[in-house]
Amino acid sequence: MLKFFYNAAPNPMKVALLLEELGLAYEAIPVDTRKGEQHKPEFLAINPNAKVPALVDGDATVFDSNAILLFLADREKKFVATDAASPARAETLAWLMFIATGVGPFSGQSVHFRHVAPEPKEYALNRYDFEAHRHWRVIEQHLAGREFMVGGQYSIVDMAFWGWARMVPYVLGSGDVTWSKYPNVKRLLDAINARPAAQRAEALKSRHVFKTELDAEARKFLYPQNERLK
């Protein structure tokens, strides 16, 4: 059985969605990052980068959420173009990496400097808010006249999109007002949210009570770079 190491953050949730869409049997293993469980030796043996998600499939171990999406989709030959030389595969890889290297990191930094970082933070917040908006505008424009992200059908790129799109109001800091600027993003998000697999993936969060307090212990585990400032 697949072993899926997760928490309720955007990147693990996109993998949870694919697992549910594929109907694969898996063991969901919570990793409470605010308690530092990602730094335990047994988890570092699975992902030396100390982050979730991670997946163990027999002798195969995969970490990084979009790598896991591609691994599972290729394994099952579903929700992905399998011809390596096809335009559809090229488009899939391009948008999958755009989300992995652009949307996710800049959205995450926007969250950090908007909601967590101490003052002064005007310069950093301005930079990451600008870049987060810029990346979401690229997706908004791309979705104009398209039902899905690539190839005219639902795929792992939409699942990668979904993980972060659920958080857009929080990422950009303007609540539901944000959706007036991103109607195409909201349309696709709503369509995915209506899928039974998405509802089962969301329910995964309720299987385990993760620590919610951002106390000194949690900050030490989540932001170890701050220890250098002491």
Global pTM reads 0.95
**Whole-number pLDDT of residue 85:** 96
Give domain 87-194's CATH architecture: Up-down Bundle (1.20)
- According to CATH, what is the number of the domain 2-78+201-229? 3.40.30.10
pLDDT of residue 174: 80
| Domain boundary assignment for the chain | 2-78+201-229, 87-194
**pLDDT band, residue 122 (cuts 50/70/90):** very high
Q: Provide, rounded to the nearest whole percent, the portion of the chain with pLDDT above 90.
A: 90
Q: Judge whether residue 230 has pLDDT over 80.
A: no
DSSP 101-161: IIIHHHHHHHHHHHHTPPSP-HHHHHHHHHHHHHHHHHHHHHHTT-SSSSTTS--HHHHHH
Q: What is the pLDDT of residues 170-223, one digit of tens each?
A: 999 987 778 999 999 999 999 999 999 999 999 998 889 999 999 989 999 998
- Chain mean pLDDT for the chain: 95
